[in-house]
């Protein structure tokens, strides 16, 4: 679907707080439908596989679905599949066609251990979830948690490769969910802001605020991220039992305030340079909204910070 840019600006001008509340309510209704479907599948499997490309809001979506399940009397846990990354070693890390480490590849994940853990959890056995340190690009000796599922309990594993054949072919009974910010913003037939740009902006803001990466660094990685999505994520999205669009009509207005200045300098030597240079001017088509109006549990807080969830 596409959002109407004229309508977005009208609502952002007239009553931005109400605009945000209504959009958040629509998103929460999607989460309720997802929680209900997961609940119905519980007699088949306690495993939920949640996939989506970078910047889709997978982590917050998993946490909010967890909250919805709790309201239905279903206990749940949420685990990032990032914990299952292998330690990066020069002799074993997968590489791009240019010879650079390809950290978007599913070969970076310990698929054997994941499948072993899914099987054990389904049998009611205990697992020890590993812990990965991004700063050192290595798995630690101590696990991040010990987990054994009780009756009427599910576990949500979220990660970009959650719907990969290496997992879903082994565990077809698991509930499969795909999320992505897919809605473009248009003015009639003209594109004003692309859904993929929303994800780039989310990632830039998050990486700058919480991962110590400057915007130009994130821009430089974006072409490889997009190539990895097309190769390793998008081909498996139709395996999902349910798909959720995590784009918000108000988002471009909020992110203009947060991220417009990040596009003042776009490196000339990067792939997709001309496309990325279009994002900054595109922001100026929209009325800005103060990020302080975001609800404490808003999904965008995953990227802007200041929310109730811990990441």
pLDDT in tens, 89-135: 888 888 887 888 888 889 999 999 999 999 999 999 999 999 998 87
pLDDT in tens, 64-96: 999 999 999 999 998 999 999 999 888 888 888
Check whether 1 has a pLDDT greater than 80. Answer: no
Quote the pLDDT of residue 100.
83
pLDDT band for position 32 (50/70/90)? very high
Q: What is the 3-state secondary structure (H, E, C) of the chain?
A: CEEEHHHHHHHHHHCHHHHHHHHHHHHHHHHHHHHHHHHHHCCCCCEEEEECCCCCCHHHHHHHHHHHHHHCCCEEEEEEHHHHECCCCCCCCCECCCCCECCCCHHHECHHHHHHHHHHHHCCCCEEECCEECCCCEECCCCCEEECCCCCEEEEEECCCCCCHHHHCCCCCCEEEEEECCCEEEECCEEEECHHHHHHHHHHHHHHHHCCCCHHHHHHHHHHHHHHHHHHCHHHHHHCCEEEECCCCCHHHHHHHHHHHHHCCCCCCCCCHHHHHCHHHHHCCCCCCCHHHCCCCCCCHHHHCCCCCCC
Q: Which residues contact 82 (CB under 8 A, 6 or more apart)?
A: 132, 134, 159
Q: Which domains does the chain carry?
A: 2-301 (3.40.50.300)
Mean pLDDT of 290-302: 97
Mean pLDDT of all residues in the chain?
94
pLDDT in tens, 233-269: 999 999 999 999 999 999 999 999 999 999 999 999 9
């Amino acid at each position: 679907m596409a959002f109407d840019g004229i309508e977005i600006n009208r609502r952002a001008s007239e009553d931005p707080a109400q605009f945000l509340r209504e959009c958040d309510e629509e998103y929460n209704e999607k989460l309720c439908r997802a929680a209900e479907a997961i609940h119905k599948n519980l007699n088949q499997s306690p495993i939920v596989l949640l996939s989506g490309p970078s910047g889709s809001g997978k982590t917050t979506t998993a946490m909010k679905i967890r909250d919805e399940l709790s309201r239905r009397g279903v206990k749940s846990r949420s685990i990032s599949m990032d914990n299952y990354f292998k330690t990066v070693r020069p002799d074993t890390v997968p590489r791009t066609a240019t010879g650079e480490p390809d950290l978007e590849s599913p070969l970076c994940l310990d698929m054997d251990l994941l499948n072993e853990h899914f099987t054990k959890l389904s049998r009611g056995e205990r697992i020890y979830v590993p812990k990965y340190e991004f700063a050192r690009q290595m798995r630690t000796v101590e696990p991040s948690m010990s987990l054994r599922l009780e009756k009427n309990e599910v576990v949500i594993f979220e990660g970009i490769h959650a719907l990969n054949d290496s997992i879903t072919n082994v565990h077809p009974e698991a509930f499969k969910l795909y999320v992505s910010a897919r809605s473009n913003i248009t003015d009639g037939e003209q594109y004003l802001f692309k859904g993929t740009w929303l994800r780039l902006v989310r990632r830039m803001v998050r990486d700058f605020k919480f991962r110590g990466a400057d915007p130009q660094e994130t821009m430089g990685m974006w072409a490889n991220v997009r190539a990895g999505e097309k190769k390793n994520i998008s081909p498996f999205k139709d395996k999902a039992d349910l798909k959720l669009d995590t784009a918000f009509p108000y988002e471009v207005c909020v992110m203009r305030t947060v991220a417009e200045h990040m596009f003042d300098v776009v490196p000339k030597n990067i792939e997709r340079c001309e496309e990325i240079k279009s994002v900054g001017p595109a922001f100026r088509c929209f009325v800005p909204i103060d990020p302080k109006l975001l609800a404490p549990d808003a999904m965008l807080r995953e990227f802007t910070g200041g929310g109730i969830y811990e990441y």
